[in-house]
Amino acid sequence: MAKYNDPGIVTESISLNSQDGISPVHREDNIILQKLGYKSQFKREFSLLETISFSMAIMAASCGVTTGYSYPLLSGGHFAMVWAWPIACAFVLCVAASMAELASSMPTSAGLYYFSAKMASKERSALASWITGWSNITGQVTLICSIDFSCTELITTAIAMSTDGAVVLGSGATFGILMAIHLTQAIFCSAGTRILARTTVVTMVLILTTSIGATISLLVCSGDQRASSVDAWTKFENNTGWSNNVWAFILAFTSPMWALTGYDSAAHIAEETAGAARAAPIAILVGVLGTEILGWLYYIGASYATNSVPDILQSKLALPLGQVFLNVMGKKGALTLWCSIIYLCGCSQAVDASRVIFAFSRDNALPGSRWWKRINRTTGSPVNAVWFAMVLSAICGTLVFSTAAFNSLASASVIGLYISYVTPIYCRVTWGKDKLQPGPFNLGWWSFPIGWIGISWVAFMVVMLLFPYTQTANVQTMNYSIVIVMAVFIFAGGSWIFSARHWFTGPVPNIDWQSDSSSYSEKHNTE
């Protein structure tokens, strides 16, 4: 594995005049990136709208609520559906605001682990970067798998509804569908940046239409199935098995925490974005806020359409909300809307994960980094990193044969991602108080209280997400997320102690910026 200051690396001075063929916005983007230590390797095809669309496509309110509906259904019924979402959203917005400030200051695909390295103290910089990078990759890969499994459940539920329950697919068929989704996504995500950028806008339109359409349909079509306003907003039913109702309600936060992941994607495509220092923070905040609003409206509609919580819990469909649609809209109407929800969010998450793998490999932090940091000459995208991410996700997909283990992937993805979200924020509010060079988006004095609120919330959520969902847990209902998370942290921690601490110094610049001469020296690996 190559190391910083490797004797096999030579430098070549390159003038910024070589960028004469690009627009002023792109020129400024490249200068900022060069000051951060990296040369520009991507075409900047993502506009502000497309960056916002990319962020929203991963969170996908329609998909997140549809698949996460079972959590509040169990944890408090109507009350949890309506109120767990906005409470969690308020705290998540604090995390997003703090992340947006960092992304505005340092718009690079390295993203979170780069932020940690620059905000931490000198002696802790490399370790903070290492922890953040591995946490983020863990979350990214498991999130691909959990999203695609949710897509698989949507398909199996649609099949069950269309056949009146006559066809219920087993684990083998479910795994086959999951692998087919992975394969098609890997092929699509290997395309050029321009194609991916344009597709995200279509995805966002689908998200808006399915979210709004589902909400209106649930409210208008429910008829006799509609719950009263009093029940829809206030009725509490604890079906978790936990005797403490407050704790049962807290478990409902799993739904918004899982849905509101992936907004760091705006930072990870910063090197493919025009005006990244401005576009990235806007995309993070607009994406999160838009998803929060759409998701809450969707949950309100679902609460009104849920006439009997016990009846829905007894449904044999893979996703309980499918039974709600079937009850209020009939088979034909439910399938029409259901199938439109299927085409959401997995591809965007795969792109996001591949950019994280590319950036971490560019800094020589992953086994086989020399392969994963390559840019395909034809597509101009990190094709190797795309396929590596999808293979890792497919390996996680083998857990589909154990329902309890696979369901733990959702918790594992949230834990991994949110640890990587708050580590640079913690470094910012402790060691990095005077280190941040403000970008266009700056919280000013508010960055410290907002940052601490976000850190405290995530610390609480990480503990909560490790608990089993029922008090009388057994082999089938146990939460195995701690096994997944600890396995990765033991590997990352062991590799740090026995190897990486001797050579990993954090982000490795591939250029030497010389501000006085408006030029930079580009490093080339001669191996």
Residue 5: per-residue pLDDT: 37
Range from 247-261, 444-458, 467-481 carrying the lowest mean pLDDT = 467-481
pLDDT at 3: 38
Alpha helices in 373-480 (DSSP H): 383-397, 403-429, 447-465
Domain ranges of the chain: 42-495
Q: What is the mean pLDDT of residues 266-279?
A: 91
Q: Which residue has the tokens 């910089």?
A: 125
The predicted pLDDT at position 477 comes to 72
Q: Looking at the domain that runs over 42-495, which CATH code has it been given? A: 1.20.1740.10
Is pLDDT above 90 for 12? no
Q: Strand order of the sheet with strand 519-525?
A: 9-15, 519-525, 511-514
pLDDT confidence of residue 332: 62
Given a contact cutoff of 8 angstroms between Cβ atoms, the answer to whether 150 and 67 are in contact is yes
Q: What is the pLDDT of residue 377?
A: 87
pLDDT given for residue 379 in this prediction: 85
Look at residue 186 in the predicted model and tell me its pLDDT: 92
The H or E element containing residue 514 is: strand 511-514
Most confident of 25-34, 288-297, 429-438: 288-297
Distance CA 399, CA 309 (A): 29
E strand segments, 35-140: none
Cβ atoms 213, 337 nearer than 8 A = yes
Q: Check residue 69 and give its pLDDT.
A: 92
Tokens of 503: 């050579």
Contact call for residues 374 and 382 (beta carbons, < 8 A):
yes
How many residues are present in the chain? 527
Amino acid letter at 309? V
- The pLDDT of residue 13 is 44
The candidate with the shortest Cα–Cα distance to 96, out of 56, 143, 124, 44, is 56
Whether the CB-CB separation of 237 and 227 falls below 8 Å is answered with no
pLDDT (0 to 100) of residue 4: 35
Averaging pLDDT over each range in 218-227, 240-249, 394-403, which range is the top one? 240-249
Predicted confidence at residue 127, as pLDDT, reads: 94
Residue 234 neighbours by CB distance under 10 Å: 12
For residues 371-395, one letter each, b for 16 or more C-beta atoms within 10 angstroms of the residue's C-beta and e for the rest, the string is ebbebeeebbbbbbbbbbbbebbbe
Query: Is pLDDT at 475 greater than 60 in this prediction?
Result: yes
How many CB atoms neighbour CB 313 within 10 A?
A: 15
pLDDT in tens, 295-328: 999 999 999 999 999 999 998 887 888 888 888 8
Separation between Cα atoms, residue 2 and residue 371, nearest integer Å:
12
CA separation, residue 234 to residues 83, 227, 254, 324, 514 (Å): 9, 11, 20, 19, 62
Q: Report yes or no: 237 and 76 within 8 Å, Cβ to Cβ.
A: yes
Confidence of residue 8 (pLDDT cuts 50, 70, 90): very low
Average model confidence (pLDDT) for the chain?
85
Count of C-beta atoms within a 10 Å radius of residue 335: 19
Contacts of 188 (CB under 8 A, 6+ apart): 347
**Residue 105: is its pLDDT beyond 70?**
yes
Per-residue pLDDT band for 341 (boundaries 50, 70, 90) equals: low
Instruction: Read off the pLDDT of each residue in 522-526 and give the average, rounded to a whole number.
Output: 47
Span 390-414, mean pLDDT? 82
Round to whole Å and give the CA distance between 54 and 291: 12
How many Cβ atoms are within 10 Å of 76's Cβ, its own excluded? 27
369: left (phi over 0), alpha (psi -120 to 50) or beta: alpha
Query: Rounded CA gap, 53 and 47, in Å?
Result: 10
Tokens found for residue 464? 């909560």
**What average pLDDT does this structure show over 456-471?**
90
- At residue 132, the pLDDT reads 94
- Residue 134: pLDDT band with limits 50, 70, 90: very high
pLDDT tens per residue across span 58-91? 888 888 888 889 999 999 999 999 999 999 999 9
Q: Rounded to whole angstroms, how far apart are CA atoms 507 and 431? A: 18
pLDDT of 10 over the 70 cut: no
